[in-house]
Amino acid sequence: MVSQNSYDGIDKYAADLIRHKARQLVGKAGFTEDDRPDLEQELMIDLLQRMRHFNPAKAKKTTFMARIVERHISTILEARFAQCRDWRLCQTSLNEPLDNGEGDTTERIDFLDSEGSLGSGTRETRERLAHEIRMDLDRAIASLPEELRDLCVRLHESTMAEIAREMGIPRTTLYDRLSKLREAFSESGLTDYL
């Protein structure tokens, strides 16, 4: 695949160097031929931004360009091999069929939650479970006395210290109410969510 990048007005040595180095990267660190134009652009942008630092008293222009390109390639490879995004660990397809626990298969993408994390059940199952938990919580909150219901709502937005200040009561009183709130949730079968 020949790169479609145009380097009109760019130093011929720089353009040739970048094309050569991008070609060398193909097949390494998971880079493919399709990545080559992007690599060339990234290397060229970095080189052009750093050319203002060139000092002819310190080195030849070609040496300066080569070192800038080589260092940026090192940075690219370092990022590519970083543990959090190591390309070697990401070799599964989102369309890969997985056992859904019901004797059938479902594509991997259906197991992802809204944050993109792999969950234990299908997205539909997790969403249904979250809805059921929300209904249980709403039912438990509705059955609370007014002062505990108020505390529950306030805890959603504020800390205990802020609530005590707002209500003008000691934190120890609030912690007593919090104990009652936990007890009420426990009696409602919501111990797992405390």
Residues 86-143: pLDDT tens digits? Answer: 656 666 667 777 776 677 777 777 766 555 555 555 555 667 777 788 888 888 888 8
The residues pairing with 106 across neighbouring beta strands, listed in sequence order, are 98
* CA-based nearest residue to 184, from 146, 131, 141: 141
- Is the Cβ–Cβ distance between 140 and 129 less than 8 Å? no
Where along the chain do its domains lie? Answer: 12-89, 93-121, 123-193
Question: Which residue would you say has higher pLDDT here, 109 or 56?
Answer: 56
Q: What is the pairing mode between strands 97-99 and 105-107?
A: antiparallel
How confident is the model over 69-84, as a mean pLDDT?
86
- Give the closest residue to 137 by CA, choosing from 147, 127, 129, 125: 129
Predicted confidence (pLDDT) per residue in 9-20, tens digit? 788 999 999 999
Q: Which fold has domain 123-193?
A: Arc Repressor Mutant, subunit A (1.10.10)
Helix (H, G, I), strand (E, B) or coil at 20: helix
Closest CA to 13 of 51, 39, 42, 49: 51
Phi first, then psi: give them for residue 27, nearest 5 degrees: 95, -5
Give ∠ CA 121-123-126 in degrees, rounded to 5.
65
pTM: 0.45
Rounded to whole angstroms, how far apart are CA atoms 98 and 92? 11
